[in-house]
Amino acid sequence: MTKLRPLTEKEHAAISAYARENGRRWKSKLNHDWMNARTTGILQALRNSHGPSWLVSYSIPKRRRASVDGSRVITVVAENGDLYEAIKEGINEPWTINYPEGSDRFSGSEPEMRAHIRRLISEGPAAKITP
């Protein structure tokens, strides 16, 4: 049996984001996507390097609790594997969104911020709010 290399932070983030987006049965959905060639980027690279049998035993590392000041980090993975990371430093602060083409700031709830990230994914930098 060949020992597999440990996952990088980006790979853990990609799988965690996929799991959050796909709910309780995320592993079976990811395996199905892998078998039907519906993943790209980081997720497809993991399928090629680690494979479906590895996925069965994989468990998502426990998230670090948000700090007392209310800071949060949310990662969303685009279909092509690009990572979109939203950071909120405090309860009254806007989200800072970092992605391959740049960054943006967004004030709003988490669902509104996720919708904004979906616009950034589909429309690219044209959907940016701040210059």
Residue 43, CA atoms < 13 Å, CB-side half-sphere: 29
Name the burial class of residue 35, with classes exposed (0-12), middle (13-18) and buried (19+) by CB atoms within 10 angstroms of its CB. Answer: exposed
pLDDT score of 102: 85
Residue 53, both tokens: 């049998």
Mean pLDDT for 32-42 is 90
Q: What is the DSSP string of 58-99?
A: --PPPPPPPPTT--EEEEEE-TTS-EEEEEE-STTSPEEEEE
pLDDT score of 32: 94
The pLDDT mean for the chain works out to 84
> What Cα–Cα distance (Å) separates residue 116 from each residue in 69, 86, 107?
24, 11, 10
Position 71 confidence tier, pLDDT thresholds 50, 70, 90 = low
